[in-house]
Amino acid sequence: MTPHGTDGKININTAGPFVLGALSEEIEPEMVDSMLAYRDYEDNDLSNPEWYKLAPGFPEDIVIPPSLITTSSSYFEIVAEVAREKMKKKVRGMVVRGPGSTTELIYWKEE
């Protein structure tokens, strides 16, 4: 989750299990597991945000409002941790993908 962005939609292709489960009050933990398994299988087409309906065991009558989900993201968090002997360094940053292949750094923090 990020405070950045403008449309407020959740990328169903990258959301974690707690977020997937929160997309509808009717989604049970077993359904989330099915969604995650379906998403992890590389031959499945995840370009349509309604792919979750194809996940085995996902009931047909449960619908996630289309206004909540998408299959693309513009904002990405970068976390890198390096360790050498007794030294450790961690950095965290956020970038936004712009038009074409442009990328803008939103923030960068050494922890």
How do residues 18-28 score in pLDDT, each as one tens digit?
999 999 999 99
Tell me whether residue 3 is in a domain. Answer: no
Under a CB-based contact definition with an 8 Å cutoff, are residues 96 and 104 in contact?
yes
Q: Which residues contact 6 (CB under 8 A, 6 or more apart)?
A: none
Share of the chain above pLDDT 70, in %: 95
pLDDT tens track for 50-101: 999 999 989 989 999 999 999 988 888 899 999 999 999 999 999 998 888 8
Q: What is the pTM of this model?
A: 0.76
pLDDT tens track for 80-90: 999 999 999 99
Tell me whether residue 2 is in a domain. Answer: no
- Give the chain's domain count: 2
CA 94 to chain CA centroid, nearest Å: 14
Same domain, 56 and 41: yes
